Structure 1
Amino acid sequence: MGAATAAGAAVTADRLATTVAELRTRGPLVQCLTNVVVAQWTANTLLAAGASPAMVDNTHEARALAGGAGAVLVNLGTPQEDTVAAMREAVAGATDAGTPWVLDPVAAGALPWRTGVAQELLQIAAPAVVRGNASEILALDGGRGGRGVESVDTAEDALPAAEALARRHGCVVAVSGAVDHLTDGDRLIRVANGDVLLTKVTGAGCALGALMAACTAVTDDALVAAAAATALYTVAADAAATAARGPGSFAVALLDELAALEPAQLADRVRLS
């Protein structure tokens, strides 16, 4: 586990609940430069959670909106030359304005060009959070990557790489898996909620990155933000799975549960270690 400390100092269930309550109260605007497969799901997830999505990914507007948004998501799921150019603009605009941004390096390691784009964006400015599966995080630290968007490694396998990335870039690294691992290079949080049906809904992980961005807009502690978003999403998934007949009904129920989940319920149900 390196230098990270189990259960992360000051990151408690009550603090995560407070962050979710603040998200609902403030309703931050989240600029999403994301992939074409998941744009609608991501927008609906943000709306259900209490945030406001802005799916602006063109070079004419990306920098200006990043300067005025509460947070920015950069997701590399379906990169094109023009959208990557807009990502560079958005990261620069966010940096100039002090706007937190989140990087989701989809399929990093599996495909060289997008891996290079992810590394380039990290060099422009440090994100508040890097969110990915274990293989994507390992790839950013020089590993081999997975099979496209599928991880071939566990979150525990990727923890040393996550800690190294967090220290190198001064950010939080969130590794999704059966148990999510989140670290800032010093503190470590594990969140053990969630259901396997999340793996059957296209864009479930991508939307989690957007929720992390939303939470960075309402707290200065990026580890708390990433953990609060993970708790909100996975606790809602637990509830949605109880009545779902399959992936379709689960996806609808997940949006409903995201909207209905009260902060006090989250604090009671989240499984942190």
Structure 2
Amino acid sequence: MEDWRTFVDQHNTEQFKRVSARNKVNRAKLKGPACLGRRSMAVTRHQMAMERNLTSDAEIGRGDVYLRAHTSKDKVVQYPDLVQKLDELYSSNPASKMTGVDDALTQLVGSDSRGRMRGLGCSISKTGLKKSTPARSKLHNMAKEREGLAQEILEIKKSLIDIKSWVGMHQEAQSGQNLPSPPVAKSTQGSSPDTIYIGKKCELLGWGLRGVVARGQVHEVSPNAIVHCEPLAEGAFVVILTEIIHPDAPLWKEDGFASTLGEAGPGSLVQWGKQSMRFL
């Protein structure tokens, strides 16, 4: 109750009433008021990073945060012209999307006042932002590498779909006649003598006295080949599994997706040492 009386007394002083009246007039002049309510810019930026599955809030440009802060709950943007201009600037200069003292937002709405930066929350100044430039550049490069890796994984998945389709046709062809050739990736080592093994059927030999643990067909021999995001080991080939004899037999090299032939399953790509293969 004592705190409440203090609060009421403070809001009834002449000084507070003058400040309140002035702020009311200033708010009425705003063309695009902020729509965050009690949520801060820093929290908004973190939420955007979580929504996009990013590893750091620094990967969110302050231009995006600024637009989110000026978008109402019913998705009405307070600055539609600014959205269009930002998109045009991002397209012509992608680097301007990265937060900085001369980024896209600064170029469009002007320089920030002393001691604050739009879209970053309180206690963030130009000086602090400049000092963090090396770390933010590193994060930006990491994001680009992750995008490239995601594209490579997508291409690998497409190749696996083609391979599994071929394996299904292989299983249907009981006699093995009129069997179409498997989808074979182009080898970057065209002059290598190992290219003669591409497309050949083979038996995979296990450890110890197990003998033949699976059968398959050579898919790639290039040392630059990638299997489940892992580079091809020295002396190994990429093999398409067509028949598994011992499901519990370990892979010649684990790839992070499977550790045994049974876990890999027919139609999968695995690495297998040339010396542990018998060609048919």
TM-score by length of 2: 0.19
Larger Rg belongs to: 2
Higher RCO, 1 vs 2 (CA within 8 Å, ≥6 residues apart): 1
Question: Which structure dedicates a bigger proportion of its chain to helix?
Answer: 1
TM-score by length of 1: 0.20
